[in-house]
Structure 1
Amino acid sequence: MGWSSAAAFARTARRTSLAEATGSPRPACLITRPEPGAAATAARVEALGWHPVLAPALRLAPLPMAPAPEARAALVASAAAIPALAAACPPGLPVLAVGEGTARAARAAGFTAVSAAGGDAESLLAHATARLLPAAGPVLLAAGEGYGDELAEALLARGFAVIRRDAYAATEATGLPPPARDALVAGSVRSALFFSPRSAAAAVSLIRAAGLGAAATAIRALALSGRVALALDGLPWGGLDVASRPDQDTLLGLLGPAPPLAPHARPEG
């Protein structure tokens, strides 16, 4: 279904009530981030009165990571890297995490010297530059396969020796989960959360491949950063807002409490 099929889409949506599509009379919020993180985000979204609908656009899997005993600190840009890091490195290794969520994951994995940056790669670079001395020894950059090259280059430019390790693999989902597809068909999704450029681009591709691009006109897309917002350009969103800070708390503050259900969307009976 192309964007020009909005009228046909609307007719289809009217045939399915909100409660039928989601099992809830509440407006739905699409959560496109993968685990680790999706379930925790869903719980917070539900606490705001929304019906969370999980539609992870990527699937993450830890990779075996070789130890780096010469590293004096580890930089971690995603909580997905923590399992491989914990298996390969001693708990006393200083860990510089991209944000508070990743820092919590590192502490939960047993690391004892953990600090957090402001939520994106730029703040992690600034955090590392402020806390570490290049002369003290190499830094370990644990990132996803195909991620982290820009950060590694920026560290090298500042005089750091960098040990780059792939800590997890990310693959695009092959399709929308049935509950997410049903909610989009029904037009019950009123908001959607996007946490990274790659997952945002993958989510756009999944929605378009399902022929549900017209559903975006009823959805307010919320992006963690400007770079994430750029990856959402492929759909006609009803609104697009960017968090003022690249962290989940700010993004959920932007989402806010669920609005009252519109009278025309209330289930019968």
Structure 2
Amino acid sequence: MLVTRPEPGLSETMAHLAASGWRGIACPALNVESRPLRLSEARFDGVLVSSGQALAALRGAVAPDLPLFAVGEATAARARAAGFRDVRAAGGDAAALLAALGPAPEGGGHLLLPTGEGVGQALAEGARRLGWRVTRRVAYVARPAAALATDGLAALAAGRVEAVLFFSAATARAFRRALPPLLVRSLSDIHAIVLAPKIAAALDPAEWARISTATRPHQDAMLECLARREDGDAVIRS
């Protein structure tokens, strides 16, 4: 199967696939560049992290003992590995992240929200409705890949791909834009598996054999969407 997510996360998913008995091909559709955080002398009461992509910019920019609310367990694990000591994991999406955050304490509280360029406004507004003051800063920029990985394109051309994994709507759109026109027809035999409904909305169902949405926002649930064929033709099996 093709894995379209960029680092950080790509290597983790590839290792998870291998451990689960599946063969993956790295085919990132986005290039992510970290940006230094431009922070004032303001004091923060916590950090709200909706993507593991933001963690690189946080290193050295905020105190490691500051409470960090991570969108899910994978992001929380990366935050702990980066040295953050007070990490609280939510259930995997923005609604769960706001629920884990909860209302601001009496007298208010100030959150840092490091996000990608052009995203995070809805999450910031949700936290403000809970009484928090929110400072949103760009921590990374995600650009569509100019071209997809050679290995991925070769597998598509040879009809050796059974499934493609999409972890974000931006990745789904970037993959489709970077796909050579001659290979668009190959999608009609391929199962698209997405992490959340909004990602499915970024795909054209007429182009795919099937689009499946994980029942929960976790890569394990994405793998559960796969029909485990036993006839030997599925090249995603190792």
The residue identity in structure 2 corresponding to 1:244 is T
Q: CA deviation at 1:234?
A: 6.5
Q: CA deviation at 1:257?
A: 5.2
What is the 5 A alignment of 1:1-269?
Answer: 29-67=1-39, 69-129=42-102, 132-133=104-105, 135-207=107-179, 209-233=180-204, 236-255=207-226, 259-262=230-233
Can you give the 5+ residue segments of structure 1 that lack an aligned partner in the other structure?
A: 1-28
Q: CA deviation at 1:260?
A: 3.9
Higher helix fraction: Structure 1 or Structure 2?
1
Tell me how large the CA RMSD over aligned residues is.
1.9
The residue identity in structure 1 corresponding to 2:31 is R
Cα distance in 2 for residues equivalent to 1:92 and 1:258: 47
Q: CA deviation at 1:128?
A: 1.3
Cα distance in 1 for residues equivalent to 2:131 and 2:18: 45
Asked if the contact 2:116–2:139 (Cα under 8 Å) also holds between the matched residues in 1, the reply is yes
Structure-2-length-normalised TM-score: 0.91
The one-character-per-residue Cα deviations of 1:193-241 (angstroms, maximum 9, x if unpaired) are: 100111111112222x443111111111111000011111276111111
* C-alpha spacing 1:258/1:170, structure 2 compared with 1 (3 Å): farther
Cα distance in 2 for residues equivalent to 1:67 and 1:255: 44
Asked if the contact 2:205–2:211 (Cα under 8 Å) also holds between the matched residues in 1, the reply is no
Instruction: Provide runs of 4+ in structure 1 moved above 3 Å.
Output: 255-260
Question: Which shows bigger deviation, 117-126 or 189-198?
Answer: 117-126
Q: Say which SS state the counterpart of residue 89 (structure 1) adopts.
A: coil
Question: Max radius of gyration: which structure?
Answer: 1
Cα distance in 2 for residues equivalent to 1:229 and 1:32: 14
* C-alpha spacing 1:94/1:212, structure 2 compared with 1 (3 Å): same
Q: Say which SS state the counterpart of residue 208 (structure 2) adopts.
A: coil
Q: Tell me what 1:22 maps to.
A: none
Q: Say which SS state the counterpart of residue 162 (structure 1) adopts.
A: strand
**Count of residues paired in the alignment:** 234
* C-alpha spacing 1:254/1:134, structure 2 compared with 1 (3 Å): farther
Percentage identity across aligned positions? Answer: 41
Structure-1-length-normalised TM-score: 0.81
Q: CA deviation at 1:72?
A: 0.2
Q: Tell me what 1:7 maps to.
A: none
* Larger RCO (alpha carbons 8 Å, 6+ apart): 1
The residue identity in structure 2 corresponding to 1:86 is R
* C-alpha spacing 1:65/1:235, structure 2 compared with 1 (3 Å): farther
